[in-house]
Amino acid sequence: MSKITKDKITGIASILFGLSLLIYFIPYWVVTTDQLNHTNPDTFPKFIAVALIVLGAVLLIQAFMTQHRERKDNSAQGDVSAKSSSSFSWKTFVRSDTYCILATALTILLFDILLGRVGYLWTGCICSVFLLAAFRSKKWYHYVIVIAFTFLLYYIFAEILLVKMP
């Protein structure tokens, strides 16, 4: 993603979020009272919403101006971009960044789902082993280490620090 695209997305998201705060979230989710203290509970959130809209607009204008300038430069130099296409392959996918990110994110979500249901010890072991398997780790001692680490953390938090474990 180019810097201009990122700036455009950020600008639009900031404006939309600011507007949604002003139109929906602040009126419905902030309970206001009569102005006993000269300021209301919605004073600060409203200021933030307006600031988000203004900052988003400035960022958007900046992005369009940069794009306009770059287009001018590119038309002078000639278009050199080329499109590439590739077919999907599972073997390549499992070694891709997207796969690694998805596997990690999925494990984190799984951790949250399991933690309240089966407790920390099972959750820790299942999620750690799942993630190692997803990364296709073939070293057996990696599995032993993550399981031992789960037990060690349980011991430190539950037995020494007396944290009430799920």
Partner 1 sequence: MLEMLGSIISSLFSLDCLLFINLGLFAGIIIGALPGLTATLGVALLMPMTFGMDMISGIVLLLGVYCGGIYGGSITAILIKTPGTPASAATAMDGYPLAQQGKAGVALDVALKASVFGGLFSALVLLVAAPQVANFALTFSAVEYFSLALFGLTIISSISGNNQIKGLIAGMLGLLVSCIGTDPINGTSRFIFQVQLLSGVDVIPAMIGLFAITEIISKSTSVYRSEGEVQKFSNKGISTKEFWSMWPNLLRSSAIGTFIGAVPGTGATTSSFLAYNEAKRASKHKEMFGKGSLEGIAASESANNGVTGATLIPLLTLGIPGDTVTAILLGAFMMQGITPGPLLISTHPETIYTIMLSLILVNLFMLLQGKFFVRIFANVTKIPVVLLIPLLVNLCMLGSYACNNSLFDVKLAIIFGILGFVMILLDIPLTPMVIAMVLGDIAESNMRRGVAMSSGDYSIFFTRPVSLFFILIAALSLLYPTIKYFVRRYRAGKNSSGLEG
What are the residues binding partner 1 (CB under 8 A)?
Answer: 1, 3, 6-7, 9-10, 14, 21, 25, 29-33, 36-45, 48, 51-52, 55-56, 58-59, 62, 95, 97, 100-101, 103-105, 107-109, 111-112, 115-116, 120, 124, 127-129, 131-132, 135, 137, 142, 145-146, 149-150, 153, 156-157, 161-164, 166
Count of alpha carbons within 13 angstroms of residue 160, beta-carbon side:
7
* Shortest Cβ 82–partner 1 spacing (Å): 24
Q: How far is CA 38 from CA 22, 48, 51, 73, in A?
A: 20, 18, 21, 53
Residue 117: enclosing H or E segment and its boundaries? helix 97-118
CB of 74 to partner 1, least distance (A): 22
Residue 39 CA, distance from chain mean position: 34
**Structure tokens, 127:** 């999620």
The minimum distance between CB 26 and partner 1, in angstroms, equals: 9
